Structure 1
Amino acid sequence: MKLSNETIGVLKNFGSINQNLVIKEGNTLTTMSAMKNIVAKADVVETFPKEVAIYDLNEFLSSLSLFTQPVLDFQDQYMTMKDEGSKATLKYWYSDPSVVTSPSKMITMPSEDVKLTLSSEDIEKLKRAASVVQAPDMVLEKTDNGCALTVCDKKNNTANNYAIDVDCSSNAKSFKFFFKVENMKLLPGTYDITISSKNISNFKNSAKNIEYWIALEPESTYEA
């Protein structure tokens, strides 16, 4: 089996969420952060022949990088990596699944109280601004003109912040949803976002089969 560049990109993204990964039989990859506040799911073009537990995903990706176009051969307790026609082979042993963190089931949104679409450009602007002004938080709130997304420090009212007006759909009187900027571990792209007043959000990539469920911070408020 060869891994496409798109799938390697997904694996790199998942490695930023959790170094552990359990690859299930089939073509769906899932991961969950150690704090259990981020869950991600992606459908890929490859079909994996068996369940494989990887303890250090970044080490696995570094192993792949030793080859130009690695071919993977899955055995019972390990896989081999090699380039076609090459004499060099790397044997990569699977981990014990019991020591690897992975989601046991996918999340069902308890309600869909706010919906919006955020472009790739706006997401990158917010991330860059958060880095520049050293803002650890991002808040989505209802305004007189619709909604606004602001990167800020929720513990410091006089800290610098950066805001973008966004179109959103909601029947609520008011809401203020807080996220941690560090939890925005998204592959580049435009996202359709659904937020529940139960403090969970869903980010679905509009062009790729990948989505994320990201927990909101407990200070979030919602008035129907």
Structure 2
Amino acid sequence: MKLSKATLEILANFAVINPSIYLRSGNVISTKSVNNVTYAEAQIEDTIDADIGIYAVNEFLSTLGLFGSDFEIIADPADQEIKIKNARAQVKYTTVDPSVITFPEKTINFPVADVQFELKEEDLKRIMAAARTLRLPEIVVTQTDGKIVVKVVNSEDPSTNSYALEVAEYEGDNDFEFFVRVENMKMIDNTYKVLITKLGAIKFESEKVSYIVALERNSHFE
């Protein structure tokens, strides 16, 4: 089994959501946060040829880094270990039983969206930069005068700094505010189709990777 650079980048991103991962046989990898707030799924170009539990993803990736780009992974689920090797070197790496890590039991089927729009990569970068610069904890999606507006705010202290960015047109007449914690926004920089349901979740969807994040309780849709 080989893992491409693109797959390794996705695994590194998923490690920010959950330090452990359960890799299932096939071409899809997924993870979820320990507190069940964030779910992520990716279609990869490689094929996972065995079910493998990795307790410390960053350590696993650093181990692969010892081999550069020239390595092969041989799984032995019965012995709870994998071998990472090239022509000259080999590492025996211990895997774990899935019972000791948090992982998605099944794929999440997202409901029909009440609001949807495209969020361009450069706009996502601006929003996250504003959150860091102004040290604000929440992102809120709302509409003003026919525009989808993404704000970075502190809802517990409206008098503090805030940031607002128009990101798309809105043709509906609903009033809404959908709040997401900045700390749960752990996506790879990309352009995403954003889908939001009043049932309490927001989805960031791209061609190969998607994320679902729980909305905060102060969200509303009228």
Give the shorter-chain TM-score range. over 0.9
> CA offset at residue 166 of structure 1?
1.9
Q: In structure 2, do the counterparts of structure 1 residues 172 and 104 end up closer, same or farther at CA, with 3 Å as the change threshold?
A: farther
Q: How far is 1:172 from its partner?
A: 4.6
Describe the shift of the 1:56–1:40 C-alpha distance in structure 2 as closer, same or farther (beyond 3 A).
Answer: same
| Greater mean deviation of Cα atoms: 123-132 or 102-111 | 102-111
Residue 200 of structure 1, CA deviation:
0.7
Aligned match of 1:26: 26
Query: Does the CA contact (< 8 Å) of 1:114 and 1:170 recur in 2?
Result: no
Q: Following the alignment from structure 2 to structure 1, what is the Cα–Cα distance between the partners of residues 97 and 110? A: 31
1:52 to 2:52 alignment: yes
**Structure 1 residue ranges, 4+ long, deviating more than 3 angstroms after superposition:** 168-172
Aligned partner of 1:78: which letter? E
Query: Does 29-38 or 138-147 show the bigger shift?
Result: 138-147
Which residue is equivalent to 2:14?
14
Q: CA deviation at 1:147?
A: 1.8
Change (3 A) 1:109 1:168: farther
After the TM superposition, which residues 36-115 of structure 1 pair with which residues of structure 2 at under 5 Å, given as runs?
A: 36-68=36-68, 69-76=70-77, 77-83=80-86, 85-86=87-88, 88-115=89-116
The 3 A distance-change label for structure 1 pair 91 and 172 is farther
Matched-pair contact (CA < 8 Å) for 1:21–1:53: yes
After TM superposition, the score normalised by the length of structure 2 is 0.95
1:92 deviates by 0.6
Superposed displacement of residue 168, structure 1: 4.5
In structure 2, the gaps of 5 or more residues are none
1:190 matched to 2:208? no
SS of equivalent to 1:130: helix
Distance 2:171 2:200 in 1: 15
Match for residue 122 of structure 1?
123
Contact 1:111 1:197 in 2 (8 A): no
In 1, distance between residues paired with 2:150 and 2:184? Answer: 15
Q: What is the CA distance between 1:101 and its match in structure 2?
A: 0.6
TM-score, structure 1 normalization: 0.94
1:3-26 CA-to-partner distances (Å, cap 9, x unmatched) read: 100000000000000011000011
Percent of aligned pairs with the same amino acid: 34
Residue 210 of structure 2: aligned partner: 211
Code of the residue aligned with 1:181 in structure 2: it is V
Q: CA RMSD in A?
A: 1.2
Match in the other structure for 1:222: 221
Deviation at 1:109, TM superposition (A): 2.1
Code of the residue aligned with 1:5 in structure 2: it is K
Partner Cα separation in structure 1 for residue 8 and residue 118 of structure 2: 26
Q: Deviations over 1:125-184 (max 9, x none)?
A: 111111000011000111113221011111111111111012144635200000011111
Cα distance in 2 for partners of 1:170, 1:56 equals: 46
Amino acid corresponding to residue 217 of structure 2 in structure 1: P
* CA pair 60-143 structure 1, distance change in 2 beyond 3 A: same
Unaligned runs of 5+ in 1: none
Distance in 1 (CA, whole Å) between partners of 2:138 and 2:171 is 22
Contact 1:27–1:45 at 8 Å: present in 2 too? yes
Preserved CA contact (<8 Å) 1:114 1:168: no
Aligned length, in residue pairs: 219
